[in-house]
Amino acid sequence: MKMSPIRAPEGDTREHLIVIGNGMAGCRAVEELIARDATRYRVTIFGAEPLVNYNRIMLSPVLAGEKTFDEIVINGQDWYDDNGIALVSGDPVVAIDRAAHTVTARSGVTLTYDRLLIATGSDPFIIPVPGKDLPGVITFRDMNDVEAMLRAAATGGNAVVIGGGLLGLEAAHGLTLRGMKVTVLHLMPTLMERQLDEAAGWLLKQALEARGQTILTGADTAEITGDGRVEAVRLKDGSVIPADLVVMAVGIRPAVGLARAAGLEVGRGIRVDDHMVTSDPAVLAVGECVEHDGQVYGLVAPLWDMCRALADGLVGQPSGYRPAPTSTKLKVAGLDVFSAGDFTGGDGAEDIVLRDASRGVYKRVVVRDDRIVGAVLYGDTADGNWYFDLLKRGENVAELRDALIFGQAFASGGGQADPKAAVAALSDEAEICGCNGVSKGQIVSCIAKGARSLDAVRTGCKASASCGSCTGLVETVLALTLGEDVEAGPKTMCKCTSFGHDHVRREIVAQKMRSIPEVMQKLHWSTPDGCSSCRPALNYYLLCALPGDYQDDQQSRFVNERLHANIQKDGTYSVVPRMWGGITSAAELRAIADVVEKYDAPMVKVTGGQRLDIFGIRKEDLPAVWADLNAAGMVSGHAYGKALRTVKTCVGAEWCRFGTQDSTGLGVRIERATWGSWMPHKFKIAVSGCPRNCAEATIKDFGVVCVDSGYELHVGGNGGIHVRATDLLCKVATEAEAIEMCAAFIQLYREEARYLERTAPWIERVGLDYVQSRLVPDTAARAELAARFFFSQQFMQTDPWAERAQGAAHEHHAPMARFTPQEEMA
């Protein structure tokens, strides 16, 4: 139980509004109230779940593993704090005393209210069959249910979902993705009959069955059986379906128990007037628990409208709730479904139908008296908002009639679909964000108040802040409203985070983070364990920040760095032993030749970096190959890594008549100093003995060109797609200075470049002046960088091949098992 101070602060004489229910309706009502008058009421919210306000609609993506709980939070604790709202969570209200104006919670705490708002929502309907209380029979209503389903799915087995409506199908989809074998039992002849007509229901059933679910329509449950826990579901026709988990999703009932006990007028729901006031003027009610004009509601759109009417009434500017047509848009197993209004047809109604079997598209628009009264779309729901907008405004569609079914772009005249024109044509009332009930007009006014980017709109009016499926529409509204002035947000590392590389890295260092899960937790990663883009980057950032201390995560490394060899397209590997400075010997060549023959390597190739590359080695043979190469004194050449690759040299003063310095000697010394270091990207070095530059030092990440008076040091060169010649960093007089500068430059690159950023784009981004300013004038700073590099090197210069050759990480190479069908059958 979480409690904030709930007694009125000294001197606070404001009216006290108590809200029972911390769900979508209760919190939305408070949001609407605060938007109108932030100070009029002192607010306390009671919630039964020990959680902050979250988006119940988004439980399905959580179940499906597409979202985490943190991502579906609508209002975090800071919202309550910032608005001075007392939240009492995990402590449901159990009694209302209307005479005394008090509510009492389960913990015994009793508070006095001036106005009371009941937003208790609804309870899942449990069909009264034998076995309904067996362990393993659950509903799909809150985080608890989702957690129960995830626990059940962890051990696999059979799941039966009773109810083929929206909720049931989403539960079935999630459980299927989680690996359970799912059967859906639906009492009616077609799925989702309240939202879809028969044709669309049938298409949906076909598609879900193709995805491995069993769908039984007209299935009437007789009993749930099991000894101590659920084992099967028996239907009235006698068939029995095995079940390790049963999810009841047949419908919801307004939760009216508390209101009824308090003596409020209750029909199917708590009866309210147009201002959401119950039979007691001091008590209001909103959301799925209410009955308005004989109707109860289970969708979010009417709920948002109710909250607006309620808040208007609370601040003394009553507007009144008027029921509006509703629409349903959902995505189940990647299938788009949309429906709105009345599609039952009937007198005077005309159907306009389009079927495109090859695309799996079905569209039906119901028109009465030249006005759209209903629409069902399956497979292509892009025009749903447009039809719904026409429907709500009661627009005369006589002129559009012929082209109506082909959608907005076509009907509006242009043969070419122009999504921008489509959004421009939407009215201000048209709903853009279904999750948070935000209209186009609200987004435009949010932009008018200064929002200049998608992020700002998300913060300002919540549009696109939940599931993000309307992000494209919101961006179009931004573009239409601001034109060129839209600000792009910072480029994020990947889809798992809203932060960019630099920010993540700064936080890792500032907060002294020590592991990938810690980074993901603290920076609110949106996926459970990242992706193939962010994991290698985080692994590198941590490795760089904590030399000698960080436990390298092999599973966050690209295959080449995990297997210390280069994967080829046929699944074999190529192996490049290190040849210091490109110099080799008879013994090394002999060892390489032996490996080629012994392991049947189909090709040996001289690389651009002056090494020998042995191709076609099988994963299982790698440790043995390395053992043979190690025996001849060779170590890993790191041709596979975001690391120092090679130091290429020319023969220099020792042999060449033009040579000015010992370029091979310097190359070997530089390679000895820098090998083994992990970097943001691959890193190549060359040392040329004279300005003729035979080692091509001016297209390397770090290049040395020897001259009579010393060494020219060049940086930021690159072959590849975009050839970039190096920039001259500086000139030094001695080899020792050249090596120190090389180490300092590498360390600056390691600490400041983004993962997968070569030195060339990095220098173009930060500027040569900046790099020079960090390395050249300030000898102390340069020495520190070099010292940090050499400190880190003492943990890096262990030959990974030698470790593997001696049996380390055996599981990366050997198969887990072998299977030979012939032997088995013999």
Partner 1 sequence: MIGEWLDIGWVDEIPVRGSRTVQVAGGDDIAVFRTGENRVFALLDRCPHKHGRLSQGIVHGGAVACPLHNWRISLTTGEALGEDKGCTPIVPVRISGGRVLICRASTLKAAA
Which stretches of the chain bind partner 1, using CB under 8 A? 65, 154-156, 176-179, 211-212, 527-532, 535-536, 554-560, 562-563, 567, 569, 571, 619, 811, 815-822, 824-825
Residue 34 structure tokens? 């605060």
Q: Do 714 and 738 meet the contact criterion of CB atoms below 8 Å apart?
A: no
Q: Find tokens 């084992």 and name the residue.
A: 231
CA neighbor of 668 nearest in space, from 641, 642, 687, 644: 687
Q: Which residues neighbour 196 within 8 Å (Cβ) at sequence distance 6 or greater?
A: 190, 204, 337, 339, 376, 378
Minimum separation from the CB atom of position 433 to partner 1 (A): 23
Cβ-based nearer residue to partner 1, 228 or 815: 815
In the complex, minimum distance from the CB of residue 177 to partner 1, in angstroms, rounded to a whole number: 6
Q: How far is the CB of 678 from partner 1 (least distance, A)?
A: 17
Q: Which residues pair with 110 in a beta bridge?
A: 104
Query: Toward partner 1, which CB reaches closer, 99 or 817?
Result: 817
Question: Do 96 and 258 touch, CB atoms closer than 8 A?
Answer: yes
How far apart are CB 626 and partner 1 at their closest, in Å?
Answer: 18
Q: Which of 667, 660, 661, 683 is nearest to 583 (CA)?
A: 667
Q: How far apart are alpha carbons 35 and 130 in whole angstroms?
A: 49
Residues 6+ apart with CB under 8 A from 215: 164, 183, 184, 186, 191, 205, 208, 209
Nearer to partner 1, 121 or 174 (CB): 174
Instruction: Compare residues 320 and 528 and give the one whose CB is closer to partner 1.
Output: 528
Cβ 387 to partner 1 shortest distance, Å? 27
What are the tokens at 295? 């109707």
Six-digit token string for 590 = 């002999």
Nearer Cβ to partner 1, position 263 or 528? 528
Of the pair 261, 559, the CB lying nearest partner 1 is at 559
Q: Which is nearer to partner 1, 329 or 535 (CB)?
A: 535
The angle that helices 663-674 and 735-752 make with each other, rounded to 10 degrees, is 40
Closest distance to partner 1 from the beta carbon of 524 (Å) = 16
Tokens representing residue 405 in the block: 């079914």
279 or 526, CB closer to partner 1?
A: 526
Residue closer to partner 1 by CB (options 252, 516) is 516
Distance CA 124, CA 163 (A): 11
Q: Could you tell me where the beta strands, DSSP code E, fall in 550-608?
A: 566-567, 573-575, 603-606
In the complex, the smallest distance separating the C-beta of residue 569 from partner 1, rounded to whole angstroms, is 6
Asked if residue 814 lies in contact with residue 772, where contact means CB atoms within 8 angstroms, the answer is no
**Distance in angstroms (rounded) separating the CA atoms of residues 144 and 54:** 13
Q: Which residue, 13 or 822, has its beta carbon nearer to partner 1?
A: 822
Find where tokens 């949906």 sit.
204
Residue type, 363: K
Is 132 or 619 the residue whose CB approaches partner 1 more closely? 619
Nearer to partner 1, 79 or 801 (CB): 801
Beta strand ranges found along 286-402 (DSSP E): 290-292, 327-332, 335-341, 349-356, 361-368, 371-378
> Least separation, in Å, of the C-beta of 467 and partner 1?
17
Contact 113, 93 (CB under 8 A): no
Q: Least distance from C-beta 141 to partner 1, angstroms?
A: 23
Greatest alpha-carbon span in the chain:
108
- Residue pair 731/774 in contact (Cβ under 8 Å)? The answer is no
Min dist. Cβ of residue 532 to partner 1 (A): 4
Distance CA 300, CA 306 (A): 10
Nearer to partner 1, 79 or 678 (CB): 678
Q: Which is nearer to partner 1, 537 or 591 (CB)?
A: 537
Are residues 662 and 579 in contact, defined by beta-carbon separation less than 8 angstroms?
A: no
Closer CB to partner 1, 708 or 811, in the complex: 811
Residue 181 Cβ vs partner 1, minimum distance, rounded to whole Å = 10
Between β-strands 232-235 and 240-242, what pairing exists: parallel, antiparallel or unpaired?
antiparallel
- Min dist CB 821 to partner 1, Å, is 5
Say how far apart CA 408 and CA 117 lie, in whole Å: 42
Least CB distance to partner 1 at residue 22 (A): 28
Buried b (16+ CB within 10 A) or exposed e, 772-787: eebbbeeeeebeebbe
Output 78 or 823, the one with its CB closest to partner 1: 823
Residue 57, CA distances (Å) to 62, 214, 247, 279, 558 in order: 10, 24, 17, 30, 37
DSSP code for 599: T
Q: Closest CB to partner 1 among 80 and 640?
A: 640
Give me 697's structure tokens.
Answer: 């030092």
Q: Are 449 and 472 in contact (CB under 8 A)?
A: no
Q: How far is the CB of 264 from partner 1 (least distance, A)?
A: 45
Question: Look-up: residue for tokens 């421009």?
Answer: 424
Q: Is 825 exposed, middle or buried (0-12, 13-18, 19+ CB in 10 A)?
A: exposed
Closer of 64 and 365 to partner 1 (Cβ) = 64
Q: How far is the CB of 401 from partner 1 (least distance, A)?
A: 36
Cβ at position 422, least distance to partner 1 in Å: 23
Residues of 191-226 as b/e, b for ≥16 C-beta within 10 angstroms? bbbebbbeebbbbbbebbeeeebebbbebebbebeb
Positive or negative torsion for Cα 263, 265, 267, 269: negative
Least distance CB 562 / partner 1 (angstroms): 8
Q: How far apart are the C-alpha atoms of 554 and 809, rounded to whole Å?
A: 10
Distance of closest approach, residue 818 Cβ to partner 1, in angstroms: 4
